[in-house]
Amino acid sequence: MMKNVLILGATGSVGKNTLDVITRHPDRFRVAGVTAGRRIDDLISICHRHRPDFAVIGPTVDFSAAKSALRAASPRTELLAGEEGLVAAATAPNVDAVMAAIVGSAGLRPTLAAARAGKKVLLANKESLVMSGGLFMQAIAQAGTTLLPIDSEHNAIFQCLPAADGRLSKGVKRILLTGSGGPFRTRSLASLARVTPAEACKHPIWSMGPKISVDSATMMNKALEIIEAHWIFNAGPEQIEVVVHPESVVHSMVEYQDGSVLAQLGNPDMRTPIAHALAYPDRIDAGVAQLDLARIGQLNFEPPDPVRFPALRLAYEVLKASDAAAVTFNAANEIAVQAFLEERLSFVDIVGIVEATLQASQDVTIATV
């Protein structure tokens, strides 16, 4: 049966990889809607190619200029704008699955709205889960729908877990979350203060958007993923361990009580988890090159360095604190990363600012978004 997919953040790295997989399977998937914050030319050409029912643009974009460009490119596509437009698209009756690939907290409202409307949620936007984990998982359960993780580690864990519902069950001991260690794993600590945004965005393995690239360099990305794993799999902090694995071939592992450890391997290419989630429970071609282990030759693993990567300790502290701590953690990081990208903050101060903000914030219980 044809699946109608809305891509939130269609012009980004995950969004474009999603379009690539969808284009390979016109018999299975239809692009029902696409959204972009600012890169409107990109969005218009995506609309020209895929003729979606609607397109949503950010509130700062000139609406009437975008509308006339869209009319020429894809006359059948309706134009919506801002957060209201995103929520309308995420809850539209003709949408079956929502690829949540907006970066940062801007993705929260439409993604949560999609869950509440019972859409299948393909979740790349980890920040929305970090901010609203309890409410989000409750919304998924109440609507009787499914969340399929796109983050390569969580997708790997999902694939290695026994139960169809993808939650940690009896017999599972731990989750081993792998992380490449980013571009500065072996660089001298003293030189980190001089890191430029361009260097931080140049990941040795993955090609990703600027925010997650900086997060990978500080390992704040792995810290957010610890919290993400906690919510998706219902795992306690003591059940989640991070292992540094520079080759990024083992995408994560699940350890069982009997000593078995199941791993999911693959080339580091986001099209694999995207194709897995899009077609689940079927398996489809993702256009990914075959994994050649003999050529790779060697896979390395090491514990994360707590001095170089203090963000990981903070994630465990956040899990032991209140829900509000996770919101503060995510918000402080988003603002600090933006300041670093605009060269207003040094690389080494990113995590320091997050920690100081956490210490200065108050514990409150979050009951609604």
In the complex with ligand NAD, which residue's Cβ is closer, 172 or 213? 213
Q: Quick one: what does residue 12 bind among ligand NAD, Mg ion, none, with the CB cut-off 5 to 8 Å set by partner type?
A: ligand NAD
Residue placing its CB nearer to ligand NAD in the complex, 50 or 126: 126
Which does residue 208 bind out of ligand NAD, Mg ion, none, counting CB within 5 to 8 angstroms by kind?
ligand NAD
Q: Count other C-beta atoms under 10 Å from residue 205's C-beta.
A: 16
Residue type, 189: L
53 binds, among Mg ion, ligand NAD, none (CB under 5 to 8 A by kind): none
| Cβ distance to ligand NAD smaller for residue 150 or 240 | 150
CB of residue 39 to ligand NAD, shortest distance in Å: 6
Interatomic CA distance for residues 272 and 293, integer angstroms: 17
Q: Which is nearer to ligand NAD, 74 or 172 (CB)?
A: 74
Report whether 4 contacts 96 (CB < 8 A). Answer: yes
Query: Cα(109)–Cα(308) distance, rounded to whole angstroms?
Result: 34
Task: Output the smallest distance, CB 207 to ligand NAD, in A.
Answer: 7
Contact indicator for 29, 18 with CB cutoff of 8 Å: no
Pick 31 or 176: Cβ nearer Mg ion: 176
Q: How far is the CB of 294 from ligand NAD (least distance, A)?
A: 26
Query: Rounded to the nearest whole angstrom, what is the least distance from the CB of residue 323 to Mg ion in the complex?
Result: 22
Place of tokens 């790349």: 124
Q: Which residue's CB atom is positioned nearest to ligand NAD?
A: 12
For 243-312, give the DSSP string. Answer: EE-TT--EEEEEEETTS-EEEEE--S-THHHHHHHHHTTS-----PPPP-HHHH-----B---TTT-THH
**Which residue ranges make up the site for Mg ion (CB under 5 A)?**
151-153
Distance between CA atoms of 351 and 218, rounded to whole angstroms? 7
Instruction: Compare residues 123 and 172 and give the one whose CB is closer to ligand NAD.
Output: 123
Pairing of strands 120-123, 97-100: parallel
| Footprint of ligand NAD (CB under 6 A) | 9-15, 36-39, 58, 101-103, 106, 124-127, 151, 206, 208-209, 211-212, 270
The Cα 105–Cα 109 span in angstroms is 8
Q: Which partner in Mg ion, ligand NAD, none is near 124 (CB below 5 to 8 A by kind)?
A: ligand NAD
